[in-house]
Amino acid sequence: MAKLNKQKMKKLLIIISVIVLILLGIVIGIYYYAMNNVESTTAENKFCETNSDCVVFGETGDCNCGCYNKNFLPEDSGGACFCAAPTSCSCTKGKCEGVFDDVVDENCLSNAYNCDDFSSQAEAQDVFDKCGGIDNDIHGLDKDGDGVVCEGLS
């Protein structure tokens, strides 16, 4: 009788092992299907043939900002997070890629000018504004902090 129970236990253990392996295979299959489906959607959103297929979506600070195929835009901005929105898009090797214009003037990185370097107040004001205005008066052109620079120039 003990021998019979051992045989039944072995069969039961084999059946349980097979069921566990089948369930594990199903879970792994679902995982791979889901991951491949997400990658396919992302690739479709970015696919392009010409520059006109690509558009900028969102603004700086939106999680989904970037370049997408104009026919497959994200449904929403994705909330707030760090994302620098490109100024334009181009189709590069079949994928929409962001183009970021270099807007930093090297003369805005250090104190390079004095009011005497400018021929007019308007010229000095233009440099001040391009370098960030009151928030970044790197040249010290706005002595009284009112946003108007080199007030002694005409």
Query: Taking 80 as the threshold, does the pLDDT of residue 116 lie above it?
Result: yes
Q: Identify the residue with better confidence: 37 or 24.
A: 24
**Whole-angstrom Cα distance, residue 7 to residue 38?**
47
Nearest by Cα to 64 from 46, 40, 91, 39: 46
> What is the residue extent of each domain of the chain?
1-46, 47-101, 105-154
Nearest by Cα to 67 from 41, 40, 47: 47
Q: Which residues, in sequence order, are CB contacts of 109 under 8 Å at separation 6+?
A: 138
Neighbours of 99 (CB within 10 A): 14
Give the pLDDT confidence score for residue 7 in this predicted structure: 83
Q: Which residues, in sequence order, are CB contacts of 38 under 8 Å at separation 6+?
A: none
- Residue 8, classified by CB atoms within 10 Å of its CB into exposed (0-12), middle (13-18) or buried (19+), is exposed
Residue 44 pLDDT class (50, 70, 90 cuts)? low
Q: Which residues, in sequence order, are CB contacts of 25 under 8 Å at separation 6+?
A: none
Residue carrying structure tokens 């092992």 = 17
Query: Taking 90 as the threshold, does the pLDDT of residue 41 lie above it?
Result: no
Q: Identify the residue with better confidence: 59 or 36.
A: 59
Is the whole model's pTM more than 0.75, yes or no?
no
Amino acid at 98: G
Give the pLDDT confidence score for residue 43 in this predicted structure: 54
Instruction: Give me 7's structure tokens.
Output: 């045989």
CB 56 within 8 A of CB 70: no
pLDDT digits (tens, 9 = 90+) for 76-95: 766 666 677 788 888 888 88
